[in-house]
Amino acid sequence: MKFTELGLNEALLKAIKRSGFEEATPIQAETIPLALAGKDVIGQAQTGTGKTAAFGLPLLQQLEKQHNSIQAVVIEPTRELAIQTQEELFRLGREEKAHVQVVYGGADIGRQIRSLKHHVPAILVGTPGRLLDHLKRKTINLDEVKTVVLDEADEMLDMGFIQDIESILNYAKNRKQTLLFSATMPKPILHIGEKFMNDPEIVRIKAKELTADLIDQYFVRAKESEKFDIMCRLIDVQGPDLALVFGRTKRRVDELTHGLQARGYNAAGIHGDLSQARRMAVLKRFRAGKLDILVATDVAARGLDISGVTHVYNYDIPQDPDSYVHRIGRTGRAGQNGISVTFVTPNEIGYMRTIEQLTKKKMSPLRPPTDDQALRGQLKQAREQIEDLLKGDLSKYEDDANELLENYSALDLVSAFLKNLAKDSTAIKVKITPEKPLPFKGDGRRHRRGGNRRHFDHGKKNYRHGGKRREGGRRNDRGHRGRGNGHDFVIKNKKD
């Protein structure tokens, strides 16, 4: 369904067009008309399905610009999601000149208080604990709030925020509308709907399924210390058009990005600590084909819609099986084939089996290419770069070329040229800080709490979602891109 069919005003449609969106996702198509009509909504849909715009566009359209008060509150479970939501609402509300502010723990509360006092936001985004801090200090007033949004409600349940959420809802006692979004619907979430919502409309979006026939899924069993060199050799052999590399933490993304750049790959990274302007600039280069490899955390990559991605490399196996679906779903689009490669340490095999249960498709084991095979891949790319260079005007180089030919054989000169283009990347040592393997206990089935899909350690303080833990030249000319070589390394019928 087109956004023009959903009853949105021209300013918002302009913002949507500027963002590059054309058709609404299922959660957007079903939720936006209900929210615009003032109804309470419970939306069940996976992360990465466009929920921010599903609730954000109605919020922005219903703002009363003349009112100097908080009119809507969006509650997010983590700092990263709160920042991302604020940035998305700011971007969508630019034409509406909507003031959106974010508050979260770990930041200077004094600075937040001064900002809130100087310019009262129309929409306030925040984490439960910090919102309660401000309410108790009386630095925010929710008496005129019309809409409250609870995003990623099941995640907030896991983190022990349900009582905080109920307290916040009691502060916003004059609200006219409550919107709740969750990937799963355990009983405590449904209880919130019963207690705080008025005849909510239920919107359920079917879990995202893989177009399995279009994505070849492989795994590489490797020690933590081996993964980076193996990934580089795979990139050399497979020669992706556009590749996404997923790391579990911010530190991991930074180190992978710097390591790839040091070895001559055209790579850049994005994560939640980068400014929105920096992230958008990187994504613009990637979409335009000026970058070959994008390294990202799950949070930073959420909602990305980039065509032409041929390879997805899961440097770290995701701790949430649904995240795997989102990751590899970036490739195999528009009828094109894609390849995903997941690096698995011996202790993480249980996670891989859980992913296979979710996707209903086995990953094929992949034998890493040798250094010689990687070199052959580099040389193939180098030859294609030379062929492209030969298409241009070389007349102004002829005098120097003839002088070189008088002193060296043509074979030696071409060999030297190839050596320069196909540098031995492994000669550049790169150190990636080891990450502990994901703790997994069981028989390949994840232990769930109340039907929830997320993994957690015991207790709120030890919660290990990626958003809470500290996320710590050369190359492939765009004229080439075969990916078939990667299939040569499949080990048939090998058991773990």
Is there a contact between 317 and 224 (Cβ–Cβ < 8 Å)? Answer: no
Q: What is the pLDDT of residue 146?
A: 96
How many structural domains compose the chain?
2
In a domain, 435, yes or no: yes
Do 189 and 233 lie in a common domain? no
Do 93 and 195 lie in a common domain? yes
Do 161 and 240 lie in a common domain? no
Do 217 and 198 lie in a common domain? no
Residue ranges making up the domain that contains 8: 3-204
Is there a contact between 63 and 71 (Cβ–Cβ < 8 Å)? Answer: yes
User: What does the pLDDT look like over 246-290, one tens digit per residue?
Assistant: 998 899 999 999 999 998 899 999 987 887 678 878 988 998 889
Q: What is the pLDDT of residue 89?
A: 93
In a domain, 476, yes or no: yes
User: What's the token pair of residue 134?
Assistant: 């401000």
* In the block, residue with structure tokens 């490669």: 341
166-170, 266-270, 346-350: which range is least confident on average?
346-350
How large is the C-alpha radius of gyration of the chain? 25
User: What does the pLDDT look like over 448-459, one tens digit per residue?
Assistant: 333 333 333 333
What value does the mean pLDDT take over residues 224-228? 93
In a domain, 219, yes or no: yes
- Residue of 185, 295, 200 whose CA lies nearest to 251: 295
- Residue of 48, 65, 9 whose CA lies nearest to 32: 9
Do 162 and 237 lie in a common domain? no
Average pLDDT, the chain: 81
Do 144 and 229 lie in a common domain? no
Do 342 and 460 lie in a common domain? yes
CATH of the domain at 36: 3.40.50.300
Tell me how far apart the alpha carbons of residues 422 and 82 are, in angstroms, rounded to a whole number.
Answer: 44
Q: What is the pLDDT of residue 213?
A: 62
- Residue of 74, 81, 80 whose CA lies nearest to 57: 74
Is there a contact between 285 and 309 (Cβ–Cβ < 8 Å)? Answer: no
Asked if pLDDT for residue 99 goes beyond 90, the answer is yes
Do 184 and 234 lie in a common domain? no
The model's pTM is 0.55
| Banded model confidence at residue 71, pLDDT cuts 50, 70, 90 | very high
In a domain, 386, yes or no: no
| Banded model confidence at residue 142, pLDDT cuts 50, 70, 90 | very high
Q: What is the pLDDT of residue 303?
A: 54
Do 192 and 217 lie in a common domain? no
Do 118 and 52 lie in a common domain? yes
| Banded model confidence at residue 473, pLDDT cuts 50, 70, 90 | very low
In a domain, 182, yes or no: yes
Is there a contact between 470 and 251 (Cβ–Cβ < 8 Å)? Answer: yes
Q: How many helices (H) and strands (E) does the chain have?
A: 18, 14
Angle 461-465-467 from CA coordinates, rounded to 5°: 100
Do 191 and 225 lie in a common domain? no
Do 150 and 235 lie in a common domain? no
- Residue of 218, 242, 456 whose CA lies nearest to 341: 218
Q: What is the pLDDT of residue 468?
A: 36
Asked if pLDDT for residue 165 goes beyond 90, the answer is yes
